Amino acid sequence: MSPNGKKSEPGKNGNIPQMPRAMRTMSFWVLMLILLFVGAQLLESGKPREFQVNYSRFMTELEQNNLSLVTFENTELHGKFRHPVQITYGDKAVDVEHFTTSLPFELPDLLETIRAYSTETHPIQIQIDKPRFNWGNMLIYWAPILLLVFLWFFFIRQMQGGSNRAFSFGKSRAKLVSGDKPATSFDDVAGADEAKVELNEIVEFLSDPKKFKRMGARIPRGALLVGPPGTGKTLLAKAVAGEARVPFFSMSGSDFVEMFVGVGASRVRDLFEQGKKSAPCILFVDELDAVGRHRGAGLGGGHDEREQTLNQLLVEMDGFDTSDGVILLAATNRPDVLDPALLRPGRFDRQIIVDMPDVRGREGILKVHMRNLPVADDVNVKTLAQGTPGLSGADLANICNEAALLAARLNHDKVYSIDFEEARDKSMLGPERRSRVFSDETRLKTAYHEAGHAIVGTLLENADTLHKVTIVARGMAGGVTHFLPDEEKYIYRDREALLDTITMALAGMVAEQLIYSNTSSGAASDIKKVTSIARHMVTQWGMSDKLGPIAYGDNEETVFLGRSITQNSNCSEATAQIIDSEVRDIVERCRERAQEVLEQNRDGLDRVANALMERETISGEEVDLLLKGEELAPFDKEAAESARQLRISKTKPTHERIDDVLSEAGKLELSQDEMDPAAPAEPSEESAPLQDDADSDDSPEKPEN
């Protein structure tokens, strides 16, 4: 029995797999042709084999009285020699008893000639038969025609729909997930607790609708999952299918629209017809914005197939002919481009926000993805979650997968904390690019640039906490300074925090000016970042004393293109000059503030830059010690490099890698426990966790060749 009480039929819902209809048709016709050919062969198999003999040889044997039987059949003559005759067949000599000869067109006296040679001692039996039906010749002649007819019938059957329609282009391509096959449940979804509560109502309504109907509540027509890419909207839909235990039809928004006119609307009708037959059920449309964009936005006018599809979808969701028990789930990351008619109550009754997870949500997501991994005891999931701010569920899943791949590549017996840290760095910042060889002068300039970011970010009150600064190239960045947010910033950032962010971003360029009296192209991303923040402060966020809380430069968004193509200048030329002046004033004041902070900590700037040149990577705690004038612990460069080589070695077994490192470094002392091939490689200082990139594109200049 199916979940809705209907008896399951064989071959439906995946109970008994059946051969596709097209394959059954093709198999039938192929079988018929094979039987026809075999029958023709059986008819011919009971007759003796005849060899072709030319007319001259026939007359020679006739004159020698070597014929015992002659049969006339149309323009051919069949017969039997009295004594076998040897002829050449191919490259071999064969003895022939039965023969056939093709006759010339007009031989009126041949019959009399044969009778003349027939004597009492050597009689020749003469027969005249009706023409025989030659199956072989018939098949050779009719085979091309039969093949064309067969192909024509095959394609016609392919295009016929299940309900005797001429073509099946309008048939829905939705995939059915049977209610008795739950693959995903709410336990597999983390970081979206509010969304699960909203969707659980729909599951409860499908499971026990009487509880809600007693209170006069009606089942929702639809629920729209809205959120950035990678936050788990499709996964939530799969979880609803697993929890509800009802038929679940899944389809992509792009599957509705084809090159033929009217196909999209036809597929929408067919999808809801299937849903009504299987009610109660859930229909899921992924990437709804493919068909649900705002109507009337097509450039150039004309008939729009997508609008016809949307109109049919609107009618099916809440028109004259609607039925209870069919719930439409949809997912999109572009709710701003959807048609307002879709979002009204009665169609999509609720919009469920699936936002980026907070630190608790990230911790839950990591635990879900670590279920099937052999995680070591030194992995702290909470710390890993705190070090991945702003990442989506898909990003976290990728980090877990990269960590498992790295552990397997390094022959680890488990996935250790060092593997997760390296996977996080690789996912967020790109892999280390130590092959990029810089000159000492370029490395020193990069060190001062990153030291400027680190010092100003450490000393400013409203800046995030410094986690690590490095001059090791990662991705396209020549050096990176990483900050960890003290708390999750969802919507609001006050004016002082924004000014501190601009000041910290400009500190790298200011440090270069302070040391070298000039700047480099490495500040390009910093300048772009601070200009965007300052302009938004003036034109969008009302943080300018001269202009006040007024928005300028509204975007005119064209829904058809999905992006802004023009910007409405709703201000005068004089106001535009004031905007430019205010933006320049904000940036200049922040630059002066960064210069003041660095001049007051000139010794600290040199100490941090020198530490970066020596160690390449230092932590936020070490930057604090350097600013206080304290000395760092001694640094063994050869030992750190040897440990790094040990960690990244991929080709040799573990014990061979350790032997190579010991022979090259000479100073790295490993204990007997560390010599264990199953033990993980010790982390080097520079492989500690890297976090949110505050200056990911800083590359002061190209490396010298």
- What secondary structure letter does DSSP report for 523? G
The two three-digit tokens of residue 202, written as one number: 């729909």
CA nearest 512: which of 459, 447, 468, 466? 447
Q: Do residues 306 and 257 make contact, with C-beta atoms less than 8 angstroms apart?
A: yes
Angle at 653 between CA 649 and CA 654, to 5 degrees: 75
Sign of the torsion formed by the C-alpha atoms of 386, 387, 392 and 396: negative
Interatomic CA distance for residues 178 and 273, integer angstroms: 17
Residue tagged active-site, from 287, 421, 450, 616: 450
- What secondary structure letter does DSSP report for 461? S
Element (H, E) at 282: strand 281-286
Interatomic CA distance for residues 524 and 275, integer angstroms: 55
Distance, first Cα to last Cα, the chain: 74
The two three-digit tokens of residue 612, written as one number: 């970066």
Interatomic CA distance for residues 58 and 81, integer angstroms: 10
Chain centroid to CA 254: how far? 15
629 φψ region: left (φ > 0), alpha (ψ -120 to 50), beta (else): left
Q: For residue 450, indicate whether it is catalytic.
A: yes
CA nearest 185: which of 232, 240, 223? 240
Q: Do residues 281 and 247 make contact, with C-beta atoms less than 8 angstroms apart?
A: yes
Q: Is 77 helix (H, G, I), strand (E, B) or coil?
A: strand
CB atoms under 10 Å from CB of 80, counted, come to: 19
* Position 56, amino acid: S
Angle at 445 between CA 440 and CA 450, to 5 degrees: 125
Residues in CB range of 122: below 8 A, 6 or more apart: 65, 82
Interatomic CA distance for residues 178 and 176, integer angstroms: 6
Which alpha helices (H) appear in 118-247, and where do they start and end? 135-159, 193-207, 209-213, 233-244
Interatomic CA distance for residues 99 and 74, integer angstroms: 15
The two three-digit tokens of residue 660, written as one number: 């190579």
Q: Do residues 107 and 113 make contact, with C-beta atoms less than 8 angstroms apart?
A: no
Interatomic CA distance for residues 661 and 677, integer angstroms: 14
Residues in CB range of 661: below 8 A, 6 or more apart: 642, 643, 645, 646, 668
- State residue 432 phi and psi, 5-degree precision: -60, 140
Judged on CB neighbours under 10 Å (0-12, 13-18, 19+), 103 is middle
CB atoms under 10 Å from CB of 493, counted, come to: 13
CB atoms under 10 Å from CB of 646, counted, come to: 22
Query: Around 71, how many Cα atoms within 13 Å sit in the side-chain half-sphere?
Result: 13
The two three-digit tokens of residue 164, written as one number: 């005797």
Q: Do residues 382 and 260 make contact, with C-beta atoms less than 8 angstroms apart?
A: no
Q: Is 229 helix (H, G, I), strand (E, B) or coil?
A: coil
Q: Is 90 helix (H, G, I), strand (E, B) or coil?
A: coil
Q: Are strands 480-484 and 465-470 parallel, antiparallel or unpaired?
A: antiparallel
Looking up tokens 């460069």 gives 637
The two three-digit tokens of residue 624, written as one number: 């604090």
Residues taking part in catalysis: 450
